[in-house]
Structure 1
Amino acid sequence: MTSNRANLNVDVLDAFCPLHVVVNKSGHITQAGRAFHKLCPGQDAVNRRILEVLEIKRPGQIYTLDDLLEAVGTKLHLQVRNEHRTELKGLMVPLPNGGGAVLNLSFGISVVEAVCDYELTNADFAPTDLAIELLYMAEAQSAALSASKKMNLRLQEARMMAEEQAFTDTLTGLKNRRALEPILERLIDREQDFALMHLDLDFFKAVNDVQGHAAGDQVLKVVAKRMCHETRPQDSIVRTGGDEFVIVLPGLKDAAQLDGLATRLIISIEGPITFENQLCKVSASIGTVLSLNYDSPEIDRMMDDADVALYGAKREGRGCHVTYRTALRLDDTSDHSADDQRAVS
């Protein structure tokens, strides 16, 4: 009869308090719930001293079972002496006739981490334990946050792709006219010196008229790749329309360097380009302005001056580079001459 009662006590305790321990009067663990055993992986919790397995954090000055028994009815704050240092809450209840005590434990707010650290399941909690509901809520919240995070990332990627497409020329992959103003505004706001090249293809109209627009598209794509090859990663190449391009060159202000770059661009662009076994002959005229030549750089004025310099390159026979100077505006025939040159470019 006594054995059956003892077994019943064990079963009852394990059912209602799966995280309990029973300690004898010497402070050794004589019985432990199924969940408590998981806190001591690789070793049996039974027969170990309770204070070797658990550290009492509050109240302080507890070193023996007698000290623990004096804290009967007091909420205990404990920590498991293992690598996870899991925090527990506990309540000590003495057994009759000085036969030891039962210490019932719970994970408290550390339950989510404990489930992961010890691979706990529903069976490791009492059926009425609210921790189960908290776990479901935490799991649902985690799933919702994960889904929300993934959705936000997809939305951010879609927005970035849309913005990139909005500022990209679909034919050449270069930046388009819409992207030019923000680039220049950024450099001007930062008071960073830069050069601006206005490049126009020579003889491109003839390619379109004689060999067709497909040949013209092929020329534009090849020219775009060649310009990218000749410029630096920090430079911006913008197709402003048709066969016209603007190249923004941050930090470049040496005239000799700019002339050298323009020469390389012209030579590269003049290289053979074929379409359906036919040679497409084009060249390039380039007009350049430098921001340091303005007391207060303004986008519209710089673009206009670069356009005047480009007209000057056209007048000089095309396939060359001209840096803006005020004298270019003093040519009375510049506007008409430039228009005539551009019409046949």
Structure 2
Amino acid sequence: MMTNEQLAVIADQICPMYAIVDAKGYIQRVGPTLRKLRPDLKWEGRRFFRVFDLSRPRRVRSMADLVNTAGSKLHLHFRDTPQTSLKGVLVPLPQGQGAIINLSFGISVLEAVRDYDLTSADFSPTDLTIEMLYLVEAKSAAMEASRQLNLRLQGAKIAAEEQAFTDTLTGLKNRRAMDHILDRLISGGRDFALMHLDLDYFKQVNDTLGHAAGDAVLQHVARVMVECTRQSDTVARVGGDEFVLIFNDLRDLRQIEGLARRLISELEVPIPYGGKMCKISASAGTTLSAWHSGTFTAAEILNESDVALYAAKGSGRAQHCFYEKGMENKVLALDH
């Protein structure tokens, strides 16, 4: 006849989450994995029902009742915390010596592995739990790889969108970005001022010093404009030497005039390039969304700023003008 000790040695290998209980309900031995769940507990000699609370079958009140559940699935959990849920099945030992109860985690295995730092060595080599854990790990790895790929794709998408809205030479917004921002401001009913700025004498720089000098001048102009505006404002290069500045929530004419004068003054400072000085200036025209009592389009307000710009150029270089109704006729007269 096999002794309990011999039985336990075999059980340690093939079902390491077992408990051997004598006929009076006292624990005689537990498997290595079960012991790992409560390493400070002195298992031997403890009553099984003092360690575990059996939730199903509900009729079990004694060791005799427990033995009568042989072959049925047991639902139980630890009485102390963490109250890990377990599943079990009981097999009676010969000659009424008690029973061996094989336990498992069931669907709570993932939490148990996390809470008790279990490894594959804590399960039977044939336990499907191991395969499930490998599948979970593989799924987690695949999901993480997918998440990283999505992040890279999202980053690439953002970079592509940013590039599509950026002037590559100056780093400013381009015309497409300006159109998008204008449409958003107009549809949202936001107040803004729009300034159209054009460089004076830029063609002479290109003609006398070359396009590389012209590019350096444009990059310098972009830096000046960014420094003179707020972070909430928009500076866009919309043509060779044409720029549009959008000032959010700004309708103070004196403040706008001050900004224009500062920009023009800064841009009149000669720009060194290749041992020579590039001299330019700027003219600007501004209109305000607040001057429109009804609905208006981006094309209409851009045309107003363009008319004001030409009026400024007609008044002499390095000038700034606000748009006025009827200014179109004055500009036409200047052209003639």
Cα distance change on mapping 1:332 and 1:263 into 2, 3 Å: closer
Cα distance change on mapping 1:70 and 1:187 into 2, 3 Å: farther
Cα distance in 2 for partners of 1:149, 1:191 equals 38
Cα distance in 2 for partners of 1:243, 1:178 equals 16
Cα distance in 2 for partners of 1:82, 1:190 equals 60
* SS at 2:90 equivalent: strand
Which residue is 2:329 aligned to? 330
Cα distance change on mapping 1:61 and 1:306 into 2, 3 Å: farther
Give 1:7 shift.
3.3
How do 1:13-162 and structure 2 match up within 5 A?
A: 13-59=11-57, 65=63, 68-69=66-67, 71-81=69-79, 84-162=82-160
Cα distance in 1 for partners of 2:255, 2:198 equals 20
Count how many residue pairs are aligned between Structure 1 and Structure 2: 335
Asked whether the 8 Å contact 2:200–2:318 carries over to 1, the reply is yes
Which residue is 1:166 aligned to? 164
Asked whether the 8 Å contact 1:39–1:80 carries over to 2, the reply is no
* SS at 1:284 equivalent: strand
Cα distance change on mapping 1:118 and 1:319 into 2, 3 Å: same
Give 1:171 shift.
1.1
Q: Deviations over 1:10-59 (max 9, x none)?
A: 12222232111123345442211121122113445434443444343445
Which segments of 5 or more consecutive residues in structure 2 lack a partner in the other structure? none
Cα distance change on mapping 1:304 and 1:11 into 2, 3 Å: same
* SS at 2:77 equivalent: strand
Asked whether the 8 Å contact 1:37–1:44 carries over to 2, the reply is no
Report whether the alignment pairs 1:273 with 2:271. Answer: yes
Cα distance in 2 for partners of 1:322, 1:75 equals 89
Asked whether the 8 Å contact 1:28–1:50 carries over to 2, the reply is yes
Give 1:183 shift.
0.8
Report whether the alignment pairs 1:300 with 2:295. Answer: no
Give 1:137 shift.
1.6
Report whether the alignment pairs 1:314 with 2:313. Answer: yes
* SS at 2:236 equivalent: strand
Cα distance change on mapping 1:324 and 1:48 into 2, 3 Å: farther
Give 1:106 shift.
0.9
Cα distance in 2 for partners of 1:27, 1:50 equals 6
Of 126-135 and 158-167, deviating more is: 126-135
Cα distance in 2 for partners of 1:334, 1:89 equals 95
Q: Deviations over 1:300-345 (max 9, x none)?
A: 11111110010011111121221111131122644626xxxxxxxx
* SS at 1:286 equivalent: strand
Of 203-212 and 299-308, deviating more is: 203-212
Counterpart AA for 1:199? L
Which residue is 1:248 aligned to? 246
* SS at 1:266 equivalent: helix
Cα distance change on mapping 1:66 and 1:280 into 2, 3 Å: farther
Cα distance change on mapping 1:26 and 1:258 into 2, 3 Å: farther
Counterpart AA for 1:225? R
Asked whether the 8 Å contact 1:311–1:334 carries over to 2, the reply is no
Cα distance in 2 for partners of 1:119, 1:145 equals 22
Report whether the alignment pairs 1:258 with 2:256. Answer: yes
Asked whether the 8 Å contact 1:169–1:175 carries over to 2, the reply is yes
CA RMSD of aligned residues (A): 2.4
Which residue is 2:187 aligned to? 189
Cα distance in 2 for partners of 1:128, 1:218 equals 73
Which residue is 2:223 aligned to? 225
Counterpart AA for 1:100? G
Find 2:204's aligned residue among 203, 206, 210: 206
Cα distance in 1 for partners of 2:231, 2:128 equals 59
Cα distance change on mapping 1:312 and 1:56 into 2, 3 Å: farther
Counterpart AA for 1:164? E
Cα distance in 1 for partners of 2:106, 2:83 equals 14
Give 1:118 shift.
2.3
Cα distance change on mapping 1:267 and 1:83 into 2, 3 Å: farther
Question: Percent same amino acid at aligned positions?
Answer: 49
Cα distance change on mapping 1:201 and 1:79 into 2, 3 Å: farther
Cα distance in 2 for partners of 1:267, 1:62 equals 94
Counterpart AA for 1:264? R
Asked whether the 8 Å contact 2:309–2:321 carries over to 1, the reply is yes
Which residue is 1:342 aligned to? none
Which segments of 5 or more consecutive residues in structure 1 lack a partner in the other structure? 338-345
Cα distance in 1 for partners of 2:152, 2:41 equals 47
